[in-house]
Structure 1
Amino acid sequence: MAIVSTKAIVLSSLKYSDSSLIVKCYTEKEGLKSYLIRGVLKAKKGNIKAAYFQQLTQLQIIATHKPTSNLNTLKEVHIVHPYKTIYTDIVKQSVVLFLSEVLSKTIQEEEENLPLYSFLETAFIWLDTHEKISNFHLLFLLNLTKFLGFYPDLIDKEKLGFNLMEGRFTDATHEKLIITGNNLTLLKKLLGINFDAIEKVSFSKHERQQILQMIIRYFELHLDGFKSPKSLDILKVVFS
């Protein structure tokens, strides 16, 4: 048993009994951790409030981590970056729902990964502080693959196709799982850029759906057991 002070990002929150929550967090120091927070839904007083555990909230926590248990306990919780728009803007709410579901499906490691934590922290602050966010989720997913180990190989970008299975560009455009033509052009617009450049990238509604489907397929091919998120349908409605 160890007492740990760390930053943490909430990935999901599940009601447990009438008054408790099980919260899954991605922590800066120890990766994925789950916490049982007893009585938080009924407590009128106390330092730990249910509102702290909305998806993608950024926290500073002091927790007891038990090597023999999947459920840990929280001693102290503070919000590090109070979001101004994420929970009040319907479009951003939908993006948050979608991304938290993707992260819950893709992050499994219970170990420190500072570059990944920093990416998530920075990305969600960017989402909160910018207005033109219709392509944010596309770039977020693509750049997340850097930390998951299958970011597209940018060598040979001038070739005529991109092989989703191999993650690289190719001229063998007749094979299965090859992106060509306009779909390839859409993908290239997102490669190698950061969030500040996303406002200059323009996609039609149809193109946005096309590239999202491509990226989801890319995840399915490279991550065992990854399935299309349920919240994808909500995202389609919001951006259509």
Structure 2
Amino acid sequence: MLITTNAIVLTKIRFNDNDLIVKCYTNDKGITSYILKGILKSKKNNKKIAYFQPLSQLQLETDYKENRSLQYIKDLKSNFLYTSLHTNILKSAIAMFIAEILAQALKEEEQNVSLFNYLQTSLQWLDTHHNFANFHLLFLLELTKYLGFYPDTSDIDCEYFNLYEGQFQEINTSKYCIGDQNLTLLKSLLGINFDALDSIKINAKQRQAFLTMLLTYFELHLGNFKSPKSLQILNEVFS
């Protein structure tokens, strides 16, 4: 059946000599993979390939069949034209990192409108704002709401946060309990929106330490999750 859906590009890989397989998160069907036959055959298709940069927001018209692992795109256009996400080196490093995280973390082939809206609006915020050094920290923390392991804040005044249990506690009971600077930053980020990121004042070392902690949190709560290959690049550009 023909459907039109908004989509966010997560990954693209070369298939055979001239084809691409593109994985997207869509508004209507969740995670969906598409095959673009012959797109690499000639330079005339360079403009089409440009649509499939990490986290591009597209509107796709597709010939969708439920039992087909690779869907076909009949027509496409940009749904939101980024002005800086793919040209600013710092933002593009964040985009690569986030796309890799999402490609691992999002598995469901079903509609989740609230998650799609979160991804769409937060990425548009990143594209249009200048103070974004801590964007990926809040983005990942907020993403856990939709993945089912957002921190339980009922005991937020406690002195430790247990990454394994996902809750605050008074005593240090395991290697997964965090305190000190990471705990302070976690409490500062919980409940704020992206416009409040200006109030978070940390250096590169603190940012990297907190991100390492967040990735451990993801590893504990998502099966087969691995630290993204793009993490080194992200840390280098923000060092």
TM-score (norm 2): 0.96
Which moves more between the two structures, 100-109 or 44-53?
Answer: 44-53
**Counterpart in 2 of 1:31?**
30
AA aligned to 1:4 is: I
Structure 1: gaps of 5 or more residues: none
Identity of aligned residues (%): 48
- Residue 46 of structure 1 and its aligned partner are, at CA, apart by 7.4
Using the TM superposition, name which of 34-43 and 205-214 deviates more.
34-43
What residue identity is the alignment partner of 2:223?
D
Alignment-derived partner of residue 128 in structure 1: 127
**Residue-by-residue CA offset, 1:84-138 (whole Å, 9 max, x unaligned):** 0011111111101100000000000000000000000001101100111110000
Moved more, 42-51 or 22-31: 42-51
Name the residue aligned to 2:219: 220
- 2:53 matched to which residue of 1? 54
Tell me, yes or no, if structure 1 residue 112 matches structure 2 residue 111: yes
Count of residue pairs the alignment pairs up: 239
The aligned amino acid for 1:23 is V
SS of the counterpart of 1:183? helix
CA contact (8 A) 1:143 1:151 kept: yes
| Cα distance in structure 2, aligned partners of 1:4 and 1:171 | 52
Deviation per CA, 1:169-214: give whole Å up to 9, x if none.
0012243311112221121111111111112211111110110011
SS in 2 for 1:13: strand
Match of 1:231 in 2: 230
Provide the residue aligned with 2:181 in structure 1: 182
TM-score, reference length from structure 1: 0.96
- 2:99 aligned residue: 100
Taking the aligned partners of 1:86 and 1:193, their CA distance within structure 2 comes to: 23
- One-letter code aligned to 1:183: N
Task: Indicate if the aligned counterparts of 1:10 and 1:24 stay in contact, CA closer than 8 A.
Answer: yes
Q: Map 1:81-96; keep pairs closer than 5 Å.
A: 81-96=80-95
In structure 2, what is the Cα distance between the partners aligned to 1:99 and 1:44? 29
Q: Work out whether residues 55 and 100 of structure 1, in 8 Å CA contact, stay in contact via their aligned partners in 2.
A: yes
Q: How far did 1:66 drift?
A: 2.0
- Residue in 1 that maps onto 2:161: 162
Gap regions ≥5 residues in structure 2: none
Deviation at 1:48, TM superposition (A): 7.7
1:3 is aligned to: 2
1:204 aligned partner: 203
